[in-house]
Structure 1
Amino acid sequence: MSSVRRSLSLIATLVLCACAGGADTNIDGTPLPDVDPATLQNIAKGQFGAKRRASAQAPAPLGGYARGCIAGAEQLAETGPTWQAMRLSRNRNWGHPELVDYVQDLSRKAAAQPGWAGLYVGDMSQPRGGPMLTGHRSHQIGLDADIWMLPARNLTLSAAERENISSISTRRANGAYTNSNWTRAHHEIIKAAASDKRTARIFVFPGAKVQMCKDAKGDRSWLRKVRPWWGHHYHFHVRLNCPRGDSACVNQSPPPPGDGCADAQEWVNNILNPPPPKPRDPNAPAPKPRRELRVGDLPQQCAGVLASR
């Protein structure tokens, strides 16, 4: 059996074990969705998911956050002075060196908050980025990271403990409000993350953005980068800008001008009082199911990333 087939077989086994109640779960402890092992070798997520190490290339994010890959990724150490990488079995603690440096910087700032020894770091990217076997559509170019809302008080968790511990939810009323788990420390950590010039966006549930808008004093410019999005109450999602000079990396359009607080309030209003659904045009064609990405759908350089030793 070739090394590629062995890797795909291992990945398929891991996925099936996860969906049967094994260790690979979401940060709230729920199992990840199933993946058909028979299709893995024909789609991009199967091929990128089979790679256990980064490519032997210079670091470069290639393509966009939801359609790309990363050459020469760096691995975030499983444990550091102020962080621990979680769910190690997923092998998703990889990213562009700038992301690794950013996470370490943010963890030191988090350690200055009462009750926090640092950060629990969730999914970053796979060793060569690309579409993931389960979960995210983004996180493909080594510039995205999920930071757990659970205060990191114990930085000596074993690998087994990191598989089984769950983060905490900080929302109530379907995302319209924060709950009692939300603290000023969450506000300050997200503020520190958004204030870093490398940050493009931070995604968090709408109620958290509204709460931060209410509590923010003085300079409010950092709030522009904090964007409301569904979910994101067990973690917040950091997205970095493309590193300067990396022309093959595709930035997302910048957030609209302003602090974005009115937009977040509109999200909350729609949660509390949902607008009536728009009538569907009976003559409109039914939406097509999203097709799985193939390697050919990604930037041309990604084939070389896969082929690299």
Structure 2
Amino acid sequence: MRPRHDGRQKAGKEVSLSTITIAHISDPHLPSEMAPPRLTERLNKRMFSYLSWTRRRRFIHRPEVLARVMEDIVTSQVDMIALTGDLTNMGLPGECRQARRWLEQMPAPCTVIPGNHDTLVHDDWQATVGLWQPWMGPLPFPFVRRIGNVALIGVSTAVPTPWFRATGRIGVHQSRRLRTILHGAGQQGLCRIVMIHHPPVPGLAVTRKALTDTRNFSECIAREGAEMILHGHIHLSTLSSLPGPAGGVPVIGIASASARSDDPLRTAGWNRITVSPRGNGYEIGVTRRFFPADGTAGTTRETIFDPSPPSRCFSGISTP
């Protein structure tokens, strides 16, 4: 039995370790044999998502694959799990309750932000995504959770959209708050890791699935900076960057944690991120663990992100 971790247990608590290890996972789309939506839930995007699940996606997002990823994280003894959205497939209250039970069994404290599948339609916050608030920081978004000298900053891009679209939006109010948070955390000398569901780099997602106001986000990063940005959504392991005041800020994406695939960049995996104080900043190491459909496991070479400007411009993570 895995230990139960209420997300409130270590929120804001200092950790004595000089190096913090974070497991970045995303888009588990918790596999389950879902019941069809009730009649009152059918005349919206949830029915389309249900049909997509029954016809195709349930063969891709597999419980045994997700279990493998989580067991691998257990053996790594991480200090925090950063989960960048899409815990569910339709955002139904029953799915959100199932996701809460899954979060309670996490092998380490976990920080969560919602994804577009978690907010397909307007619904009661307390009966759906609000059930995960113990694994978030103080709301409204963006929230901040401290673990040692790391500030995890949770941004929400999850907004209901029309049929056949999966776009995200930050909005003006979140952008203003994000700028303030980044500035304050920077003044405190914290390692600022931003969690966002939709990739904030133009071109990573097709138009109908992209972040619609990337400029709002990129302007915050360009002005205030961050040490790293984590995202999911596109079910692909990627490495890119955004301009920051001291050089390129690494933007790290990870494939779905439950995806069965032969493509090493699309198969299930997780990013092992280590944050170590170095001089006036932080040295951040990233290694990706991945699990192809043939039952093997792979590990990329570690990439080290140097905190000292202007050498923050970085080399890419090697692919297998």
Return the TM-score normalized by structure 1.
0.30
Query: Which of the two has greater strand per residue?
Result: 2
Higher helix share: 1
Which has the higher Rg, Structure 1 or Structure 2?
1
Q: TM-score, normalised by structure 2?
A: 0.30
